[in-house]
Amino acid sequence: MIFKKEKFERHILLKKDVRDSILSYCKMKHPNEGILILKGKSKKGKITIDGLVIPPFSYSDPTFAGFPQSFLPLDLDYVGVVHSHPCGSAKPSLTDLHNFFGLVSLIVQSPYDDDDIFAWDSNGNQLSMTVID
Ligand SMILES: [Zn+2]
């Protein structure tokens, strides 16, 4: 077995008000997928998510949500993307991994309750996450 050496284990800190906004956005988009850009900071493997941006020209249907990354303004505060899975689990699909953007991907599964939100890295490994005030 080959283990990829990671310098720091990543840990996600998610602001409570951001979490609440994500959940209400996903509920609003249901039964389609919703997608939002995560703003925050990354320091020594700790990724703090403290803001959200609605991506320009985003598109979504019940199985896919995305946006053309070429239209994104360059902003170093972008740490990743959150999207919803209106049906099925919060595991990233192959499409999700191919379209990975930034450092972390959050996926919210229906019915979008407080504990329906999960964090993943670009290899599809789950990351630990804490909700902070
Ligand atoms: Zn997905």
Per-residue pLDDT, 71: 59
By mean pLDDT, which of 57-71, 78-92, 111-125 is the weakest? Answer: 57-71
Per-residue pLDDT, 101: 86
The answer on pLDDT for 116 being more than 70 is yes
Q: How far is 54 from 79, CA to CA, in rounded Å?
A: 14
| 105 Cα–ligand 1 center, Å | 9
The answer on pLDDT for 52 being more than 90 is yes
Q: Which residues pair with 12 in a beta bridge?
A: 47, 129
| 121 Cα–ligand 1 center, Å | 13
The larger pLDDT score, comparing residue 103 to residue 61, is at 103
Judged by DSSP in three states, 63 sits in coil
| Nearest CA among 57, 61, 99, 58 for reference residue 80 | 99
Per-residue pLDDT, 62: 76
| 2 Cα–ligand 1 center, Å | 27
All structural domains of the chain, each given as residue ranges with its CATH number in brackets, are 11-61+77-132 (3.40.140.10)
| 37 Cα–ligand 1 center, Å | 14
The larger pLDDT score, comparing residue 14 to residue 95, is at 14
| 11 Cα–ligand 1 center, Å | 21
The answer on pLDDT for 86 being more than 90 is yes
Angle made by CA atoms 68, 130, 102, in degrees to the nearest 5: 20
